[in-house]
Amino acid sequence: MRLVVAGSPAAAVPTLRRLAASDHEIAAVLTRPPTPQGRKRVLTPTPVAQVAAELGLPVIEAVRVDDDVTAQIAALDADLGVIVAYGALLRRPALDAPRNGWVNLHFSDLPAYRGAAPVQRAVMAGDTRTAATVFRLVEDLDAGPVYASEPFAIDPEATAGEVLTAMAESGAEVVARVVDGIADGSAQAHEQVGTPTTAPKTTLEDGRIDFTAPAATVHARVRGVTPEPGAFAHLGDLRVKLLRVARLSEGSAVPAPAPGALVLDGGTLLVGTGDDPLRLVTVQPAGKTAMDAAAWARGLGALDGKVLA
């Protein structure tokens, strides 16, 4: 089949590479325009655009799919559109431009976590399982009938970024199977079953850590907002990013500091929560690079009265 593939971030790259290596033809890649990146704000193409250029594929760059972009897609004479985290909604007649419409790879077990941040919200909620789902794109958000859904176990220590990276690889294989099925006529889509939930885009405020919550809640929140928007707390006026925290093994005999209080236990930095303490593994104080949390704490001197809030 002749395909148009839409996507922007790194999570869409495995699907692009997998389809480029298949027997199908990619007529063009739709992605968002370059954006300023890094401290020097260098204008940088999306990861998908960079890989498309590497593969020698035509690229359409657009913030939104307006009439002009829709006409470009229609002119491709594509059999099917494949979309993974493009970053903008498609409306009719763009949805109808490819002969067989569009399929979308979504990183949740639909209808759970419809929206922009399904992995982040699932990890933040402490979920242990999710799924990579391929469905037919419709105008309603993530509401189309499902072709395939592949279960995925969430590592209890993994960050949302790590989960998404792993799911992007396994999800690419699900997409490839669905595309093959649509090509040979064997793919069947079924309406979603269950009560929908939503996964709105995370905000900076989602990264603010409340240490009065139970340890499981704090741990899940830090993992869920890593790497974006990032977990943080304040030590006095100093903003500290919390890059990695860990649960202690069951039955550990360690001090139980007050919520947010810091305690060095041997070579381990503990922080209090609403119940059990957590281990701070990696932190990044404002203006500095990421560092071992215990080493950072030793540089603070006496920890009495030092509280993350």
Flag whether pLDDT at 49 surpasses 80. yes
pLDDT digits (tens, 9 = 90+) for 152-175: 999 999 999 999 999 999 999 999
pLDDT digits (tens, 9 = 90+) for 61-95: 999 999 999 999 999 999 999 999 998 889 989 99
Residues 297 and 306: their CA atoms lie apart, in Å, by 10
Q: What is the pLDDT of residue 252?
A: 67
Residue 212 gets the label, from left (phi > 0), alpha (psi -120 to 50) or beta, of alpha
Per DSSP, what are the bridge partners of residue 55? none
Flag whether pLDDT at 284 surpasses 80. yes
How far the first Cα of the chain sits from its last, in Å, is: 55
pTM for the whole structure: 0.95
Per DSSP, what are the bridge partners of residue 292? 282
pLDDT digits (tens, 9 = 90+) for 92-146: 899 999 999 999 999 999 999 999 999 999 999 999 999 999 999 999 999 999 9
Task: Tell me the chain's radius of gyration from C-alpha atoms.
Answer: 22
pLDDT digits (tens, 9 = 90+) for 262-277: 999 888 999 999 999 9
Which tokens hold the place of 256? 């139980």
Is residue 119 within 8 A of residue 41, CB to CB? The reply is no
